[in-house]
């Protein structure tokens, strides 16, 4: 299409160059008419030419302005191309640096993976060490609690809601060791108190036994004195009893003789007295009757009454004497028996006191031996407790040292694990950033590669069209000297040329 427009422009130019002014002939009137017509035509044509020239000049000025704009656009395009070249070079350099960074990031990623694997292995090793140390602590505290199970039974380790893992095990071990030590201290205090109480009781008992022995000795001496006195009294009483027996025998003999003398007479007189008393009673009745009738029988009745009364009193006094003698005899026999019983009881008391003294001496000796044995056993138990307490203190110190070391190791391992986790997180973040940067750089490289390819294609197109524009610059400049085309087509051509030149920039 551009070639056809160029051919039309050449044809128009050749037509303009070939047009020469023809000579004017004023001879003939018809020629004059023709010439007038010709002049009018020429004038009209000149007017048209003037209009065309004016239009051409206006279009030329417009084309000059557009040419200037296009030149400025061309310079801008050249600058843009140079900038695009620089950007392409920078993009290539950046691509190389990014490739190097990607390689370094991949190497760092591999190193971080290796470090993460080492951290995971260390963490697994730490877990195994923590489990083994916790098992060792639990087994050790179970052995220690088994040793002191005779004092107090412990069931399971105390737990804490604040700590977990090895820290909770260490807390339970420390709490259990504190309980064991407190229990041992309490047992030692109780044993010391019981030993002191036993000593006090032994001293008190020995003092009481000494007091009882002294009292028993004093009572024994007193009893011996009393026994001697009672023996003398018994001897005196025996002499008195023998004398009184003799006297009683004599008195009894006399009384018996008297009674034996009086009894038959009384027995002989008894029926007479009975008949007499009956008679007297009958007589007294008769006398009383007669006394009423007669006053003479009063004296006789009184005499008989007094006689009867005197006989009664005499018989009652004899009976009373006999009863008193028998009572005195029975009392003396009872006193003799009581003295014999007292003597026997005194002898029994003396024997019991002697046996009590011997038993007290044996008990004192046994208490002394038991006290010595208990003191020796208490000393042995105290030594055993002290040795056990020292052993438990040493084990407690060792356990505390082990717990401290394990806590230090655990703290260090936690710190290393936290540092490793932080490094892993940082590495993951850096890897994510590197991945994002790599993707953005890849996209940027792809974009720059697309731009470079577009610039190269545009440059190739510009280089291929440059000769044609040099040979036929009309289409580039949009010039139409003939004026066969209208301003609209020129403006359209100008806009198409501007778009064509601005296409690489777009």
Residue 248 lies in a domain: yes
Mean pLDDT, the chain, rounded, equals 68
Residue 500 domain flag: no
Helix/strand/coil for 1: coil
User: 64-73, 119-128, 147-156, 386-395 — which is least confidently predicted?
Assistant: 147-156
The pLDDT of residue 373 is: 76
Which pTM was predicted? 0.29
Residue with tokens 């003295």: 339
Give the pLDDT of residue 27.
46
How many domains does the chain divide into?
A: 1
Q: For tokens 């000149």, what's the residue?
A: 46
290 found inside a domain: yes
417: CB partners within 8 A, 6+ apart: 119, 122, 123, 126
CB count in 10 Å sphere of residue 196: 11
Residue owning tokens 């064991």:
180
Tell me how far CA of residue 35 lies from CA of 19, 28, 46, 50, 458, in angstroms. Answer: 17, 10, 15, 21, 59
CB burial class (10 A; 0-12, 13-18, 19+) of residue 411? exposed
* CATH number of residue 329's parent domain: 1.10.287
- Whole-angstrom Cα distance, residue 105 to residue 268? 168
Residue 13 has pLDDT above 50, yes or no: no
Q: Which two tokens stand for residue 122?
A: 């260390």
* pLDDT, mean of residues 109-133: 79
Closest CA to 475 of 494, 491, 461: 494
Is there a domain that residue 487 lies in?
no
Q: Which residue has the higher pLDDT, 432 or 270?
A: 432
How confident is the model at residue 371, as a pLDDT?
Answer: 65
Contact 360, 213 (CB under 8 A): yes
Residue 293 CA: distances (Å) to CA of 174, 237, 300: 134, 67, 15
Task: Grade residue 478 by pLDDT with cuts at 50, 70 and 90.
Answer: very low
Report which of residues 90 and 3 the model is more confident about. Answer: 90
Tell me, yes or no, whether 419 lies in a domain: no
Please tell me the total number of residues recorded for the chain in this structure.
506
CA 311 from centre of chain: 117
Which carries the bigger pLDDT value, residue 299 or residue 171? 171
pLDDT above 70 for 60: yes
Compute the distance between CA of residue 235 and CA of residue 377 in angstroms, rounded to an integer: 58
Is residue 183 scored above 60 in pLDDT?
yes
Predicted confidence (pLDDT) per residue in 361-418, tens digit: 777 677 777 767 766 776 676 777 677 777 777 777 776 777 777 677 777 767 776 7
Domain membership of residue 345 as a residue range: 196-374
- Give the integer Cα–Cα distance in Å for 69 and 476: 12
Cβ atoms of 392 and 216 closer than 8 Å: no
Q: Is the pLDDT confidence value at 480 over 50? A: no
- pLDDT for 470 equals 44
Does 49 fall in a domain?
no
CB 190 within 8 A of CB 303: no
Distance of CA 303 to the CA centre of its chain: 126
Query: pLDDT value at position 18?
Result: 43
Cα–Cα dist 438/95, whole Å:
10
**How many angstroms separate the CA atoms of 119 and 418, rounded?**
10
The 10s digit of each residue's pLDDT in 65-95 is 877 887 887 788 788 778 878 877 887 887 7
Q: How far is CA 119 from CA 123, 178, 405, 445, in A?
A: 6, 37, 21, 37
Rounded CA-CA distance 366/374 in Å is 12
Q: Among 132, 131, 137, which Cα is nearest to 173's?
A: 137
Question: In the prediction, which pLDDT does 45 show?
Answer: 79
Which of 180-194, 206-220, 463-477 bottoms out in mean pLDDT, i.e. has the lowest? Answer: 463-477
**Residue 108: CB partners within 8 Å, gap ≥ 6?**
427, 430, 431
Burial status of residue 357 (CB atoms within 10 A of its CB: 0-12, 13-18, 19 or more): middle
Q: Is 138 among the domain residues?
A: no
pLDDT at 292: 54
131 in Cβ contact with 436 (< 8 Å): no
Q: Would you say residue 337 lies in a domain?
A: yes
Assess whether pLDDT exceeds 60 at residue 358: yes
């Amino acid at each position: 299409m551009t070639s056809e427009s160029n051919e039309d422009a050449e044809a128009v130019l050749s037509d303009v160059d070939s047009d020469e002014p023809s000579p004017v002939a004023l001879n003939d009137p018809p020629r004059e008419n023709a010439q007038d017509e010709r002049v009018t035509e020429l004038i009209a044509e000149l007017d048209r030419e003037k209009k065309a020239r004016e239009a051409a000049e206006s279009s030329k000025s417009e084309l000059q302005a557009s040419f200037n704009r296009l030149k400025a656009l061309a310079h801008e395009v050249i600058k843009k191309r140079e900038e695009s070249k620089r950007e392409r070079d920078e993009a290539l350099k950046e691509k190389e640096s990014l490739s190097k960074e990607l390689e370094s990031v991949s190497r760092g990623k591999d190193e971080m993976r290796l470090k993460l694997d080492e951290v995971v292995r260390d963490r697994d090793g730490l877990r195994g060490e923590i489990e083994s140390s916790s098992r060792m602590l639990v087994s050790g505290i179970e052995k220690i609690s088994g040793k002191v199970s005779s004092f107090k039974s412990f069931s399971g380790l105390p737990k804490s809601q604040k700590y977990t893992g090895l820290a909770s095990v260490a807390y339970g071990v420390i709490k259990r060791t504190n309980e064991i030590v407190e229990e041992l201290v309490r047992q030692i205090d109780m044993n010391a108190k019981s030993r002191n109480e036993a000593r006090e009781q032994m001293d008190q008992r020995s003092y009481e036994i000494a007091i009882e022995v002294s009292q028993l000795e004093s009572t024994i001496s007193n009893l011996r004195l009393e026994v001697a006195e009672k023996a003398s009294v018994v001897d005196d009483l025996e002499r008195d009893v023998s004398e009184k027996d003799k006297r009683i025998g004599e008195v009894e003999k006399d009384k018996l003789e008297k009674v034996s003398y009086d009894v038959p007479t009384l027995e002989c007189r008894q029926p007479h007295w009975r008949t007499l008393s009956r008679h007297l009673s009958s007589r007294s009745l008769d006398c009383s009757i007669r006394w009423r009738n007669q006053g003479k029988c009063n004296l006789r009745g009184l005499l008989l009454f007094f006689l009867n009364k005197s006989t009664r009193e005499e018989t009652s006094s004899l009976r009373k004497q006999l009863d008193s003698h028998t009572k005195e005899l029975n009392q003396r026999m009872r006193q003799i028996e009581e003295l014999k019983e007292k003597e026997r009881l005194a002898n029994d008391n003396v024997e019991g006191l002697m046996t009590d003294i011997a038993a007290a001496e044996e008990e004192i000796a046994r208490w002394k031996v038991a006290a010595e044995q208990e003191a020796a056993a208490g000393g042995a138990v105290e030594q055993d407790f002290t040795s056990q307490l020292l052993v438990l203190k040493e084990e407690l110190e060792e356990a505390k040292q082990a717990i401290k070391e394990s806590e230090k190791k655990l703290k260090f391992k936690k710190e290393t694990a936290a540092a490793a986790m932080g490094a892993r997180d940082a590495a993951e973040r850096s890897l994510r950033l590197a991945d994002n940067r790599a993707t953005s750089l890849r996209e940027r490289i792809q974009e720059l590669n697309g731009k470079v390819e577009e610039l190269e294609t545009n440059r190739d197109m510009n280089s291929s069209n440059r000769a044609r524009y040099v040979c036929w610059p009309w289409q580039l400049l949009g010039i139409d000297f003939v004026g066969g085309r209208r301003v609209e087509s020129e403006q359209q051509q100008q806009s198409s040329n501007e778009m064509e030149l601005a296409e690489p920039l777009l």
